[in-house]
Amino acid sequence: MSVVSREQIMTALFTLLSGAYAFQTASRRPVTEANLPSTQMPALFLLDDDEEHKRSDQITPAVRTFTAHAWIFTAAGQDPSVIPVTILNTILDAIDPITDGVLAPNALTNRQTLGGLVYDCWIEGKIIKDPGVISGLGFAHIPINIVVP
């Protein structure tokens, strides 16, 4: 596997996630739900976060683990005839590898390589959900790890 840039990796992840659902807005430049009109929701924002580098010895290159965060915003709770969490669950299922979403691994390698750019990419940690029952505006946070050799 050849070395690829951080930007290539994040662009590939963004392309994969933004194609998972019919988002009205998708961007790598996040805004808060307070600054996003409900007509632009559901929305996806991808944030590129921390990196961790580890080496097992002095000869091999470092294994890099990148952390990204997908933020999802919805306005389904503003409609009294809709169960607000339904749209969040549908979007999460479209992304979650367990429900065969876009982060599902390749059947042969059991890894999501973002088209061969990385060693693996997966959801890691707690997914935070606020369906918007009170405010009408829903939110989900999906933590994603990416291992790059």
What residue type is 5 in one-letter code?
Answer: S
pLDDT at 33: 77
- Whether 91 has a pLDDT exceeding 70, the answer reads yes
Tokens of 30: 């996040």
pLDDT at 123: 97
Mean pLDDT, to the nearest integer, of 86-114? 95
pLDDT at 2: 60
Tokens of 137: 């505006």
**Domains of the chain and any CATH numbers:** 6-148 (3.30.70.1700)
pLDDT at 62: 79
Q: pLDDT band for position 1 (50/70/90)?
A: very low
Contact status, residue 78 vs residue 98, Cβ threshold 8 Å: no
Q: String of b and e for 59-80 (b: at least 16 CB within 10 Å)?
A: eeeeebbbbbebbbbbbbbeee
Mean pLDDT, to the nearest integer, of 16-42? 93
pLDDT at 139: 94
